[in-house]
Amino acid sequence: MATACTHLDQIRPVKPRTPQGCEECLKTGDEWVHLRLCEICGHVGCCDSSKNKHARKHFHATAHPIIKSFQPGEDWRWCYVDEVYV
Ligand SMILES: [Zn+2]
Ligand SMILES: [Zn+2]
Ligand SMILES: [Zn+2]
């Protein structure tokens, strides 16, 4: 489990586009469990425990690999391509 992530240089100092919640769920009135912030473009999406999984869908749509937790008190990043915490 020593896979190194090669995508860290894509991380930008992003501002959350929708700091109040998941961008797509806010449009449709859906609910989410936890939020994830795309570190490439600032997209806020819901996690894999949420029914819509918009953070993962954002990765599939844009190939932006790195997200970080957008939950207060949580500080970790995840790379969807390498499937490792970075
Ligand atoms: Zn990676
Ligand atoms: Zn969502
Ligand atoms: Zn993105």
Decide: residue 74, CB within 10 A, 0-12 exposed, 13-18 middle, 19+ buried: exposed
3-state secondary structure of 58: helix
pLDDT bin (cut points 50, 70, 90) of residue 1 is low
Using an 8 Å Cβ cutoff, are 53 and 59 in contact?
Answer: no
Distance from the CA of 54 to the center of ligand 2, in angstroms?
A: 4
For residue 83, give the ligand nearest its CA. Answer: 1
Which pTM value belongs to this model? 0.93
Distance from the CA of 83 to the center of ligand 1, in angstroms?
A: 7
Q: Rounded to the nearest 5°, which phi and psi values hold at 13?
A: -75, 80
Quick: pLDDT tens for 20-78: 999 999 999 999 999 999 999 999 999 999 999 999 999 999 999 999 999 999 999 99
Q: Which amino acid type is present at position 85?
A: Y
Q: How far is CA 79 from the centre of its chain?
A: 9
Tell me: pLDDT of 2 over 70.
Answer: no
Among residues 24, 60, 72, the alpha carbon closest in space to that of 45 is found at 24
